[in-house]
Amino acid sequence: MQDYNNMNTTEVQRLARQGDKEALCQMAFRYELMPFASSGGYDAEGCAWNDYWLEKAANAGHIAAKSRYAESLVDRVMNAEDRQKAMGYFQSLVDDFNAGRLNENQIIDGIVAKYWLGIMLCEGYHTRRDPAKGAELIKEADRLSNGFAKFSFMDMYRIGALFASGFAQPGEEPTIEDLEQGIKYLDAAIRRFNPEENRPQYLDGAKELFENSKKWIVTKMEKKSNTGHVDTFNPGAGERRRKTMELSPEARQRMETDKAALARLRQHLAREGG
């Protein structure tokens, strides 16, 4: 076993160039942990290096790298190629989980992959769409998870919103059980909100959806009591789905900056034979 923590970056890079998948992942983590540029601005070049090494580690089969790289792809870019690539990595992790190939420390990566694959199947944005399968995966992951240990505010907000919107199926409304699950995730998201990392309007959105979901449950319960059934048709579901996938102007600009930096890096490495 290599003691990567006591190696300098040059030593780790030498092992990475030899195909050591743990060294590849360590190189990505070192760039991920680097401070922002000395000017205090956003370090697009550091982000590009992180993506470069993460992709190599993921392709070498490193479990944590698959998870991190797929999450970075689906979180920061909106083009078809990268979202489909992310779905492939998530599917690979789900397959690893289902086949029992993950050790105790890697189980959480498999559970998170089930969540994300479920989300992507529900959204169907630049990828295949299967809301029924997506809902099944999210509910399965929900049963397996323990305390949301790895989930950020935005992750939990996104999952809560999907539960609360009937998994974004056009013409469908959430069941009472789905709304209850949505409330659980939205409550957890609100508790985890960090103003240094997230925009205040997202917190406002989570709180509004949280309160509306509680009211919706009451309405559905009353209707079920009076009529014996609950309507499932909602013509506004498709528009809700579109809005959940909109990027802010700032996020879109950062996405373009990251992609340009990675393209320059790969051109440089190609010239250097790296």
Residue positions counted in the chain? 274
pLDDT band at 213 (very low <50, low <70, confident <90, very high): very high
Contact 175, 142 (CB under 8 A): no
- Whether residue 200 is predicted with pLDDT greater than 70 in this model: the reply is yes
pLDDT band at 103 (very low <50, low <70, confident <90, very high): very high
- Looking up tokens 């240990």 gives 149
Tell me the C-alpha distance between 78 and 87, whole Å: 13
Highest-confidence segment of 28-37, 188-197, 264-273: 188-197
Pick the closest to residue 19 from 51, 62, 71, 64 (CA basis): 62
Residue 39 to residues 29, 31, 107, Cα–Cα distance (Å): 22, 17, 39
Query: Which tokens go with 229?
Result: 């059934």
Tell me the C-alpha distance between 158 and 156, whole Å: 5
pLDDT score at 270:
65
Contact 46, 79 (CB under 8 A): no
Percent of the chain's residues with pLDDT above 90: 27
pLDDT: which is higher, 99 or 256: 99
